[in-house]
């Protein structure tokens, strides 16, 4: 199942602090499971269905962004000194994505829905510079379980 959002806001939580990164567009959140079905004897329909290999993944693009904050998605905490801070992000040959907490918040028909992804990694980041546009980063993300929770939805 996939959830599509037109516009939302994105916040990153690193080391207990929450940083607002900006407004995002074209948000896709995909929740999927693989399944195995057991049939007995001459049964045509399954008598038992088991689910495994569940995953939460998705992608989004920015509409308005603090570009310096993109480093939080790549390097996790400690890359820049606080919200709006400055610094240098160096990608070395051994750098791996750090997990972050991603919070999507959007309003539909006057109801605010907040999706919180507990432990997300960004394995794919695209930075697109067009001649007449600002930098347009887009990212894919995947989620892991933290203490048994992958995601929460609050309305």
Both tokens assigned to 74: 């790549």
Confidence at residue 149, expressed as pLDDT on a 0 to 100 scale: 87
- Of the pLDDT bands very low, low, confident and very high (cuts 50, 70, 90), residue 76 is very low
Both tokens assigned to 107: 């309003």
Q: Which residues of 90-128 are buried (b: 16+ CB within 10 A; e: fewer)?
A: eeeeeeebbbbebbbbbeeeeeeeebbbbbbbbeeeeee
pLDDT, tens only, 77-116? 444 544 455 566 666 777 777 777 777 777 778 888 888 8
What percent of the chain is modeled with pLDDT above 70? 66
pTM of the model: 0.71
User: Domain segments of the chain: what residues?
Assistant: 2-34+50-154
Task: Return the sign of the alpha-carbon dihedral for residues 83, 148, 31, 124.
Answer: positive
Residue of 122, 121, 123, 120 whose CA lies nearest to 149: 120
- Given the candidates 1.10.10, 2.30.110, 2.70.98, 1.10.3470, the CATH classification of the domain at 2-34+50-154 is 2.30.110
Q: Of how many residues is the chain composed?
A: 155
């Amino acid at each position: 199942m996939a959830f599509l959002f037109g516009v939302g806001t994105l916040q990153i939580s690193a080391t207990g602090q929450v940083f607002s990164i900006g407004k995002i567009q074209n948000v896709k959140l995909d929740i999927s499971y693989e399944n195995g079905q057991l049939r007995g004897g001459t049964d045509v329909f399954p008598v038992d269905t088991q689910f495994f290999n569940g995953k939460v993944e998705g992608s989004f693009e920015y509409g308005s962004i603090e570009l310096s904050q993109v480093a939080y998605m790549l390097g996790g905490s400690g890359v820049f000194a606080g919200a709006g801070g400055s610094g240098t992000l160096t990608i070395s040959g051994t750098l791996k994505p750090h997990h972050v907490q991603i919070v999507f918040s959007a309003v539909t028909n006057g109801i605010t829905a907040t999706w919180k992804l507990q432990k997300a990694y960004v394995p794919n980041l695209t930075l697109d510079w067009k001649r007449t546009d600002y930098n347009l980063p887009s990212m894919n993300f995947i989620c892991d379980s933290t203490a048994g929770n992958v995601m929460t939805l609050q309305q």
